[in-house]
Amino acid sequence: MSLFRTQFLFLTILVLNNISLAQESDSSANKKINNDKSLQEIIIYSAEKKQQTQLKTPSSITYLGAEQIQLFRVWEINNLTGIAPNVTLSQSGDNRNIAGIRGIVTTSYDQAVATYIDGVAQFNLDTYIPQLNDIESIEILRGPQSTFYGRNSMGGVINIITKKPTNQPSLIADLSVGNYGQKRISAQLKSPIIKDKIYLSASILHDARNGYYTNDFTASTYDKQRQRIGAVQLKYVMKNNWTIQADLKNYIALNNGAFPLNGDYTTALVKPYHLSQNQVTEMHDQTNNASIVLQHKGKDVNISFQSAYQNNYRYYDNTLDADFSEYEIIGIFNNYGKSYNNVKAFTNELKFQSSNQKNKKLAWTTGIYHFINSSPTKQATVFGKDAGFIGVPDKNFSIISYNHSNINGIAGYAHGTYQFNKKLSFQAGVRFDQEQRSLTVKSEYEKTPYPPFLILNDTTAKKNFSAFSPKFGLNYVIGDQQFIYLTYSRGFRSGGLSNISSDPSQLPLSAFLPEFSSMFELGLKGMNKEKTIQYALAVFYNHVNNIQTPFLVLPDAFTITKNAGILRSKGLEWEISAKPIRGLTLQYNAGFTNAIYDRYSTVINGMQMQLDKNKQIFTPNTTQFFNSTYQKKLGKNECWANLQYQFTGKQYFDVTNVIEQKAYGLIHAQIGFKISNINVYLWARNITDKKYFIYGYDFGAVHLGNPRTVGIGISYKIL
């Protein structure tokens, strides 16, 4: 029997055995539910942009509350990998995550999995904030969410909600230190300014560590990082059930050695976390997110209007090593001031929703969404004195590429659920998106000390895209705590235009079409009478047309996107939680995905290749997450222990399925105790120090997952 099957069988038997114990122990004499012995019913927000119980939501959703976020030590978005079934997030060392759900993968700046923070769409890979702080809950929706969330949510949505202030003032301070120079300091303040009227929330986070990688050329650490987040929220409660809320978030990151890559995947594990690069630079990354929300709760209709602004300025202060070697062959330079590499996005949403009143058969939501996005970039591909090593007939020159993208779009959506009777309901929704894109490109040749001369003058292309996204579903209540649903939903990822690069064989301004998916899902959710077992099961089938295939053009690191064929993805998922005895909670989440290119034709290195039946990239064939948490009260104090096992199946990082990561498992743990208002805890990640690829480029370079990290933390709360 294989290792995977042994692990799978062991975990299944363990969970089912404890479920059986729970049924025997709680179905006997004591009929009254004790909160310490039962699972709590979860109220979520994100599925239909309204509050409802998770068990009655007709879609696949994984919910993490504030307590779980702390126990699982979820510090960054990519820590969510594997916690939810068939969900992975990978990054190459620059804190930009490639998110994938059920074989639908973000492979360009147009995401396939959307991220929302406090209801605001993080517009693309540049404008979202990867670090997490002061989080109340995280909801991971799997499957297309285009009806409510629109463009680029065809794989699903990660919805992050921060903690809100109340009339009870509080101050929490937290410090965690660990190996590799890890220091994480945070503070959160919540307080009313005027009771029942004006509320303030403020938080700050500083996260720093030394690099995991060593640069043998300079004999120093390579990827030392510092990240800071500051957030302020003001909420004003007005008369007649009107509220207005303003949020401001600022993220600043400094990375001494972005893209710590081993240039050859075949030897990357021989000397892990070592590289040799002669050009060293610091990446500066700053994101600002601001939003204002006006809400009204009416007798029959609720109204909300949200306006948000996001911008990101990201550059390297020196030349980035693009050949990953000690030779001066190729580099990337983009430090041309704030007029370039400064992405801006402006979004607005007006939403009307029926109020949550009993005895109403029809619940509905309708709204309008609008956005504007501007992205001017200027980047030089620098060919050094050793450029001849790769056959370039010149040296010490640069090709400067300009790409200025402007996008604006508008969408209207409506969704309703009609309750035929107490058991049967029908849901239907539709969304129509219209998007206009323009891209202006230009290129120059520069050879120091001579001024640059024009290769291609300003050239502009424009393209319009539209998408129609329907959703239908039947929902049936089997019992008081059991619910079955069948849904069809259509998702899409926006089309676009290709950037200019230093490679003359890649023509700029070529259009690629939107990517459309059609997904069918059958699900079952339930909880036993004693509320000690909760489960969610789902099977899905997804058909994707016009697969958008990214090609990384080197050495610029520009992505050229083309439509290549058809993808079919199918699989199953389950989430099981059990509380067999007081204080002990067991959780087993598992997903299996078979995502295959049904028809796939592309050109690689000048050759036409037919890659039918190849596997989708960045898509493990399984993810499995087992968690055991034990909490015990000791008088007024409390102690806890948490153990996690995260199993990731085999996956590929290139469309030819050559760069492979075999299945592997990671073990994480945390123990702690609470005395009065003080929490002290010990944590460990990747306890067995497993070496594995977390990211790979089709040219063979790979980035390793984090090594074993351990630390200690202390937090203090003032009420």
Report whether 351 contacts 366 (CB < 8 A). yes
* More confident: 51 or 184: 184
pLDDT at site 45? 58
Q: What angle do CA 64, 415, 480 make, to 5 degrees?
A: 55
Please check whether residue 162 is in contact with residue 190, taking contact to mean a CB–CB distance below 8 angstroms: no
pLDDT of residue 307: 96
pLDDT of 438 higher than 90: yes
pLDDT attached to residue 671: 97
Tell me: pLDDT of 604 over 90.
Answer: no
256 pLDDT above the threshold of 70:
yes
501-520 b/e (C-beta count within 10 Å ≥ 16 → b): bbeeebebbebbbbbbbebe
Summarize the confidence of residues 266-287 as an average pLDDT: 92
| Higher-pLDDT residue of 151, 467 | 467
Domain count, the chain: 1
**Segment 11-35 mean pLDDT:** 36
Q: pLDDT band at 520, cuts 50/70/90? A: very high
What is residue 618's DSSP assignment? T
Summarize pLDDT for 277-298 with one digit per residue, the tens.
Answer: 998 999 999 999 999 999 999 9
Which is more confidently placed, 31 or 127?
127
Give me the pLDDT at residue 14, please.
39
CA distance 550 to 560: 6
CA distances from 602 to 291, 430, 548, 657, 670 (A): 42, 33, 11, 14, 47
Q: What does pLDDT average to over the chain?
A: 87
pLDDT of 94 reads: 86
Q: Tens of pLDDT along 193-250? A: 999 999 999 999 999 999 999 999 999 999 999 999 999 999 999 988 999 999 999 9
Number of H helices, E strands in the chain: 3, 46
Q: What's the pTM?
A: 0.90
Amino acid 36: pLDDT: 58
pLDDT value at residue 255: 94
CA proximity to 115, closest of 454, 345, 280:
345
What is the pLDDT confidence band of residue 140, given thresholds at 50, 70 and 90?
very high
> Are 145 and 153 a contacting pair, CB within 8 Å?
yes
The single-letter DSSP state of residue 131 is B
Q: What is the mean pLDDT of residues 690-710?
A: 93
Contacts of 101 (CB under 8 A, 6+ apart): 86, 87, 88, 112, 113, 140, 142, 143, 155, 156
Q: Please write the tens of the pLDDT for every residue from 90-122.
A: 888 888 888 999 999 976 667 889 889 888 888
Cα separation of 492 and 150, whole Å?
Answer: 8
- CB neighbours of 63 closer than 8 A, spacing ≥ 6? 42, 44, 54, 137, 138, 139, 140
What percent of the chain is predicted at pLDDT more than 90? Answer: 64
CATH number at residue 660: 2.40.170.20
Mean pLDDT value across residues 542-566: 74
Q: What is the pLDDT of residue 559?
A: 63
Q: Which of 327-336, 344-353, 552-561 has the lowest mean pLDDT?
A: 552-561
**Which of the four pLDDT bands, split at 50, 70 and 90, describes residue 599?**
confident
Residue 312 confidence (pLDDT) above 50: yes
What pLDDT score does 7 carry? 45
- Asked if the model's pLDDT at residue 557 lies above 70, the reply is no
pLDDT digits (tens, 9 = 90+) for 377-423: 999 999 999 999 888 888 999 999 999 999 999 999 999 999 999 89
Q: What is the DSSP secondary structure assignment for residue 301, as one 8-state letter?
A: E
Asked if the model's pLDDT at residue 362 lies above 60, the reply is yes
- Radius of gyration of the chain measured on its C-alpha atoms: 26
Q: Distance between CA 505 and CA 212 in Å, rounded? A: 37
- What's the average model confidence in pLDDT over 267-273? 92
Q: Name the percent of the chain lying above pLDDT 70.
A: 88
Please state the rounded mean pLDDT for residues 540-553.
Answer: 82
Q: Kindly report the CA angle at 602 between 261 and 511, in degrees rounded to 5?
A: 90
Looking at residues 553-561, what average pLDDT do you find? 60
Mean predicted confidence (pLDDT) in 535-556? 81
pLDDT value of residue 586:
96
Is pLDDT of 82 > 70? Answer: yes
Tokens encoding 684:
């460990």
Domain of residue 83 covers: 3-718
As a whole number, mean pLDDT of residues 366-379 equals 94
**Rounded to whole angstroms, how far apart are CA atoms 414 and 417?**
11
With cut-offs at 50, 70 and 90, classify the pLDDT of residue 357. low
What is the reported pLDDT for 8? 41
Report the C-alpha gap between 578 and 364 in whole angstroms.
34
**Given this model, what pLDDT does residue 558 score?**
56
Distance CA 397, CA 381 (A): 8
* pLDDT value for 32: 35
Please report the pLDDT score of residue 108 as a whole number. Answer: 66
- Cα separation of 110 and 90, whole Å? 16
Where residue 44 falls among pLDDT bands split at 50, 70, 90? low
- State yes or no: pLDDT of 3 exceeds 50: no
pLDDT digits (tens, 9 = 90+) for 645-698: 999 999 999 889 999 999 999 999 999 999 989 999 999 999 999 999 999 988
pLDDT for 19 beyond 80? no
Residue ranges with strand state E in 424-452: 424-446
Position 208 scores a pLDDT of: 97
Instruction: Report angle CA 542, 437, 315 to the nearest 5 degrees.
Output: 95
Max Cα distance, the chain (Å): 90
